Amino acid sequence: MAGVLERPPSIHAQLGKPEGLYYRSWAVVIGIENYLVAPKVPGALESAHAVGATLRGLGFDEVIELQDKDASFKRLMQVLNDYLPRKVGRQDRVVIFFAGHAGMTQDSQSKELGYFVPWDAQLTNTNKTVTLDHLKEFSRRSASKHMLLLFDANVRGWEVTASQPLSLEGRLSPEDDTEKRAVQVLTAAQKDEAVGHVPGESAFVTALVAGLKGAADLNKNGWIMASELAAQVKQEVASVTKGTQHPQFVQLEGDGDVILVEGKKSLFHLGSEPTNEADRAKAARAQYEQAFALLQQQKSAEEALERLNRAIAYDPSFGDAYVLKSYVRLEVLPDLEESLAAARAAVQYAPQNPDSHYSLAMVLEKKEQFKDAESAMQQALVVNPAYADVYFSLGALYADHLNEPQKSVDAFRRYIELGGQSERANRAVQGNKPPAENQGP
């Protein structure tokens, strides 16, 4: 444990919502049921209310609700082109929801161009509609890190990047991955499918709200990403509508993933659990390395411990994880019995790692089982005869607890021979020299 035990990190606990993930969260919730000239859309207002309330429940800082006549073309353009670009910062998250009429036309290159219909616009007159080009321009101008567009309508005609098949969970450095740009879109149906509108919440919104309240967390790890939400909504809507409606999810920009519900960093992992031995071992190693990095960087010890527990759950024979857990429970978050159990497991599963025996020795010494601690240190030296730190600890054990001064000096001398520079060891060895050796020339 030379690299870790020598300098116990001073770590402050910080659990729960990861700090700095988003500075502010913004939502624009548009529901148009009673159009000025277009047909009525039953249930649009109730659906919008449900989504707005759910986003507030998730802690969104500002939820702008635009309903019926408040969702005119002029008002929508003001919010998208002026208000939000001025307010939204680079570390912010933006969600836009729309329930109402949508349509499709063609751009100047004869490509499909989708749009949604403001309160005061006609269904087929695109002069006063909000096109996907408007939204693309808004996404480009917005400084937000992450943006999710939700349409309870059949909006299509996106030019998209390759879709992202998996959530970001599981990558080695989630703190870095959460910085990656993401503009994502989830619509209620695919091309040529009709979106059913009835009084009350739509099937799409019912699934959406349920997902945001936890149903999308299929692996029960506490995190809900946009990609996970889309998978849950697609499955539920297709089932409820008996296959007549298939929501679509696309990655419009970037390769990030919007985080909708934030869990503990230690539980940020692959959307589906590893199922075979090799994948579980790989996942265990990733959790262990994250825990080690957290301790080295003097960050959350609680999170490091959680990651170690997860590593052990993935691979119960992961000796190195037990070694590090024993250290954390001995020096950083003291729990002597748990530290002892981890050290014994380390010896069982990694007997060729000298740190396994050294960990056990440190715990036994703390429990005042000094002879057993001596035996564990000697075993560490059998595995690695040149382990300087063990010699130092052995010298201190002999001097402080076992009353064997000559063995203490011998251990300290070997420690110095191996390059150790402790003043205590030097004083012990110098003080034990024969008188002739102490005389000057």
Q: What is the CATH number of the domain that holds 255?
A: 3.40.50.1460
Beta-carbon contacts of residue 53 (< 8 Å; ≥ 6 apart): none
Quote the CA–CA distance of 218 and 271 in Å, as a whole number.
8
Q: Taken in order 102, 103, 108, 111, is the CA torsion positive or negative?
A: positive
Q: Is residue 176 part of a domain?
A: yes
Question: Does residue 368 sit within a domain?
Answer: no
Residue 222 lies in a domain: yes
Query: Is 306 inside a domain boundary?
Result: no
Q: Tokens 């300290």: give the residue.
A: 412
How many domains in the chain? Answer: 1
Position 68 in a domain: yes
What's the rounded Cα separation, in Å, for the pair 238 and 253?
Answer: 26
Tokens of 71: 């969702």
According to DSSP, residue 266 is labeled G
| Residue in 250, 252, 222, 248 with CA at minimum distance from that of residue 233 | 248
Q: Classify residue 346 as exposed, middle or buried by CB count within 10 Å of its CB (0-12, 13-18, 19+).
A: buried
- The answer as to whether 379 is a domain residue is no
Q: One digit per residue, pLDDT tens: the chain, 441 residues?
A: 544 434 333 332 222 333 457 888 999 999 999 999 999 999 999 999 999 999 999 989 999 999 999 999 999 999 998 899 888 888 889 999 999 998 887 766 767 778 889 999 988 877 888 887 788 778 777 778 899 999 998 876 655 444 444 444 544 444 455 677 888 899 998 877 878 777 888 999 999 999 999 898 876 778 888 988 999 999 999 999 998 999 988 888 887 889 898 776 655 554 456 678 888 888 888 888 888 888 888 878 888 898 899 889 889 999 999 999 999 999 999 999 999 999 999 999 999 999 999 999 999 999 999 999 999 999 999 999 999 999 999 999 999 999 999 999 999 999 999 999 999 999 998 887 654 444 433
Q: Is residue 309 part of a domain?
A: no
Domain that holds residue 83: 25-263
Angle separating helix axes 203-210 and 226-240, nearest 10 degrees: 140
Please, are residues 296 and 3 in contact by the beta-carbon 8 Å criterion? no
As a whole number of angstroms, the distance between CA 184 and CA 253 comes to 7
365 to each of 334, 348, 402, 408, how far by Cα in Å?
Answer: 14, 19, 11, 15
**Structural domain contains residue 42:** yes
